[in-house]
Structure 1
Amino acid sequence: MKFRKQVSDDVILISDNEIRIIPVAEINEEGVHAGELLLPRADAEVRYYPEGGRAFIYGWSGNYLAESEAIAELEKNVALKQMFSFGGGGKAGNIQFFVMAALLLITIFLLK
């Protein structure tokens, strides 16, 4: 009975001093998410493992990683901001504001 090894994709970062291998968390059309990094797919050299899976290979320097981490953090912040925006814009949002303001003014005048 053969057991199949689970196939996974990796990001391999190669610099002058070291090599890092980070498992891929998510892949989309624009980039590869690995750990705290969001790396552009266009910069990757893709190789395939014989047992299956892919290796996204990047040559990197300290600045490249810092910029990739900043992009990933920015994407998280934008996603959180959009998660909590409840469509308050547009004409319907303005009408609700004016109705609430009018009700507040009427309540203040009635309480005096």
Structure 2
Amino acid sequence: MDDAKEDLTLTQTLTGRLRNFPLAPSPENAMYGVYEAVSNSLHAIQDQGDPARGQIVVSVFRSVGGEVEGFSVADTGVGLNAGNFSSFRRIDSTTKAVRGGKLIENNRVRHNALFEKLGIS
């Protein structure tokens, strides 16, 4: 290394994180994503200022044969506002650390590793 200062900032890609993520998609592991979505709903309801009026609706979609095909989690919280979206876009955001969120094993990475499709509206 020469005398010039090197930039030692670590970078990462979502594709690399997903490839190295320790959980494989399975019916049992899918519940981690549902838990994270409900947890996010609880935080969104707290942030909207009147938690007593908040609602969370969890729907399970099944095939004709009864197999689980998907989940939907909806709430009456603040939604994906600018601050939440900024945090969402950072793979290892520390925004929810004060609420017990994990820092390195980020739950958004878990969502993407376990689900074929993830939508936010």
Look at both structures and tell me which one has the larger radius of gyration over its CA atoms: 1
TM-score (norm 2): 0.25
TM-score (norm 1): 0.27
- Structure with higher strand content: 1
More RCO (CA 8 Å, sep 6+): 2
